[in-house]
Structure 1
Amino acid sequence: MMKSLWQLRYAIFLCGTCMFANARPKVAFTATLTRVTHLAYHQAVKYDRVLSNIGRAYHPWTGHFTVPMDGVYLISCTAMSETNMAAYVQIIKNRQVMSTLHSSAGTYPQSSQTLVLRLRKNDRVWVRGMFHNQILNDNSSYNVFTGVLLN
């Protein structure tokens, strides 16, 4: 009986080792702004407060997410404008516009987009201002950029 129990435990260990050996690395990030941010024409938003960066693929000094492996990713962005001026930002993949967000003026409105994209290794995804002199209002992390490897 003892031998068969040991064999069962060993088989479970080997099976678990195989599962981990074939498991894909985890990739996920969430970053926010901590201050009012002024953007020039097509300037990348540099989200400066990194809440998570599993896989270290988000770069706060550029605002870019560099895709570490092929896969299907969820990309999400939330934007909040200044009260006296609307803000337009775009989610960019390489040089292609994937989505545009509009946060109107008046009442601190927020706008968000969530995309599911098939991305390839070394693709770059970021958020940029659409026009000159865009202002994202923030002092409490209302502006958020997130990416997660789904599959």
Structure 2
Amino acid sequence: MTKMKKITVLILAFTCCLCQPGLDENTDQGSQCSGSASCCITSISQQVGVLKEKIANMAKKITFLETNQQNTDKEVLRLQSLIGGIPKVAFSAALRDSGTGDIGPFTTDTPLKYKKVFSNTGSSYNPSTGIFTAMVDGMYFFRFSMFNNLSPTPNSVVSLKKNNERLTSVWDTSGSDSNDMGSNAVVIPLQVGDNVYVELMANRVVYDDAMNYNTFSGFLLFTV
């Protein structure tokens, strides 16, 4: 039995004990609950409701703390650049953290979310959106790879974009072969707030599995 299950059983057992006859017979609630199975069930339901609310509040607090930590990391990078320090910015991620198969197609051009994060020094890459956001002005290097869909014919087109500007692309949309890969890279200047991401063109697909064929990586070369 897992630790969580044991805790749940203990809570339920304790709650039921409170509802047993004679434990609180001097109170109105005790006299009403005495010997009543329905009262015990109601009390358990109330306790479960309280626990769910506490768990939900804890989840919100954890999300809040994670966001604060990310914002703190970004502020440290900004301050380092202002005082002449050397900010450390580097990330690398793969497209899938689980599962196998095609990703797409989508009805519009869509940023790919690289969810399996290998590294994210500086917290400038957001796996929830697939977007890298520059926290310091500088010259950056980015590289991405693409693995085409397996069948029936190749139908893969991805592009690296800076804000809304298309920088470079990798594609495979003809022929009868599969298991093809391609990659591309750029060195570009970024200002604070600039976004860089890999976009899957509308009505196109890419394939990935646990081998992590599709990756997106980048790092700061030097500040400017």
Q: Which runs of 5+ in 2 are unaligned?
A: 1-82
Cα 1:51–1:39 shift into 2, 3 Å:
farther
Within the alignment, does 1:38 sit opposite 2:113 as a pair?
Answer: no
1:4 maps to none
Kindly provide the CA deviation profile for residues 76-123 of structure 1, in whole angstroms up to 9, marking residues without a partner as x: 000001122320011110010011111356221111001000111110
Within the alignment, does 1:97 sit opposite 2:159 as a pair?
Answer: no
Kindly provide the CA deviation profile for residues 48-85 of structure 1, in whole angstroms up to 9, marking residues without a partner as x: 10000000010011000001111000010000011223
2:13 maps to none
1:72 maps to 139
Alignment-mate amino acid for residue 149 of structure 2: E
Which structure's CA Rg is the greater one?
2
CA distance in 2, matches of 1:106, 1:148: 34
CA distance in 2, matches of 1:45, 1:93: 14
TM-score when normalising by structure 1:
0.81
> How many pairs were matched up?
130
Deviation at 1:25, TM superposition (A): 1.1
Alignment-mate amino acid for residue 67 of structure 1: A
- Verify the 8 A CA contact 1:79 1:103 in the aligned structure 2: no
Higher helix share: 2
Among candidates 55, 60, 64, match of residue 127 of structure 2: 60
TM-score when normalising by structure 2:
0.55
Higher strand share: 1
Deviation at 1:33, TM superposition (A): 1.5
CA distance in 2, matches of 1:112, 1:46: 17
Among candidates 205, 208, 219, match of residue 135 of structure 1: 205
Kindly provide the CA deviation profile for residues 10-50 of structure 1, in whole angstroms up to 9, marking residues without a partner as x: xxxxxxxxxxx743210000010224321412111001100
2:188 maps to 117
Provide the identity percentage.
30
